[in-house]
Amino acid sequence: MSPPQKLIIDTDPGQDDAVAILLALASPELDLLGITTVAGNVPLSLTQENARKICDLAGRQDMPVFAGADRPLARNLVTAEHVHGRTGLDGPELPDPVTPLQDRHAVDFLIETLRQEEAGSVTIAPVGPLTNIAMALRQAPDIAPRIGQIVLMGGGCFEGGNITPAAEFNIYVDPEAAAEVFAARIPIVMMPLDVTHKALTTTVRTQAIRGIGTRTAMAVADMLEFFERFDEEKYGSDGGPLHDPCTIAWMLRPDLFAGRQCNVEIETGSDLTMGMTVIDWWQVTDRPHNAFVVGDIDSDGFFDLVTERLARLP
Ligand code: BDR
Ligand code: CA
């Protein structure tokens, strides 16, 4: 077996972020070096706490968790309590975290780790606003060519937006940061809403997770049942989109996905379309490719993977 892929998850938990973290913790193919947190779904004081609660749940109090940016680069923070609840992780009753918060700033951890590890060996999976990643690139441009790849959840192509008609939440919250990351010449894999809206937590799938019967699986089922109510009402679907774990699933099973290399530019000027990801899917410009944009997913295969992996946790 090849050695595990080194990974840092940058996150704003969030129930779907929680499943992304748990999927990584349950997967021996991945070596999770640390979790960096950012303000997004809820303020930083809650996202860092939520990340630590998730580590506790998985019995991984040894996992280093860092707090990063408490606001976007150039804007006021927009949050999503209307989706994720007041705590960001509404659903299960989780005790106060035991996993400690590290002293170091998330951005310092990113920079130091990328300088220390072999160039090209570390993947970053950002599943919240891209503020920490852009700050690290600003402070230490030398890390850009050392990043193996960025596998991010964000944006939309034909699916449009979910926080405005044009913009997806993670990109909308910090469009300047997103623009800098997409311009940094780092290999990027992008999981837009076009993919994640096909990864629905249907009743059957959530019941299969609950059926595992472990404390982690029951907590995940409680999270998903809370989280999906907002999107079920909005889209009239059975279940809500399990956005963020698509990034981790890509690392484990890229065969579950299909996409193509595209140019992606981020709108930072227009109020109407702020944070829109302008994806040249049909290659109608000669702008250079800067991301592999995923467009399709085998959603049954994806949920089988998530369910099988969650069953490995306590
Ligand atoms: C993204 O926004 C957040 O609400 C989710 O956690 C996900 O990262 C979906 O637009
Ligand atoms: Ca998220």
What are the domain boundaries of the chain?
A: 5-310
Walk along the chain (314 residues) and give the pLDDT tens digit of each residue: 789 999 999 999 999 999 999 999 999 999 999 999 999 999 999 999 999 999 999 999 999 999 999 999 999 999 999 989 999 999 999 999 999 999 999 999 999 999 999 999 999 999 999 999 999 999 999 999 999 999 999 999 999 999 999 999 999 999 999 999 999 999 999 999 999 999 999 999 999 999 999 999 999 999 999 988 888 888 888 899 999 999 999 999 999 999 999 999 999 999 999 999 999 999 999 999 999 999 999 999 999 999 999 999 99
Please state which CATH number belongs to domain 5-310.
3.90.245.10
Going by their DSSP bridges, the two strands 257-262 and 291-297 should be labelled as: antiparallel
pTM: 0.98
Angstrom distances, CA of residue 85 to CA of 45, 224, 237: 15, 12, 20
Q: Does 105 participate in catalysis according to the annotation?
A: no
- Does ligand 1 lie within 6 Å of residue 169's CB atom? yes
Q: Which atom of ligand 1 approaches the CA of 15 most closely? A: 6
- Does ligand 1 lie within 6 Å of residue 89's CB atom? no
Q: Which atom of ligand 1 approaches the CA of 80 most closely? A: 4
- Which residue among 15, 243, 246, 276 is best mutated to probe the pocket of ligand 1, counting the most ligand atoms within 8 A of its Cβ? 243
Dihedral sign from CA coordinates of 286, 167, 201, 92:
positive
Phi, psi of 302, rounded to the nearest 5 degrees: -65, -50
- Which residue among 170, 223, 248 is best mutated to probe the pocket of ligand 1, counting the most ligand atoms within 8 A of its Cβ? 170
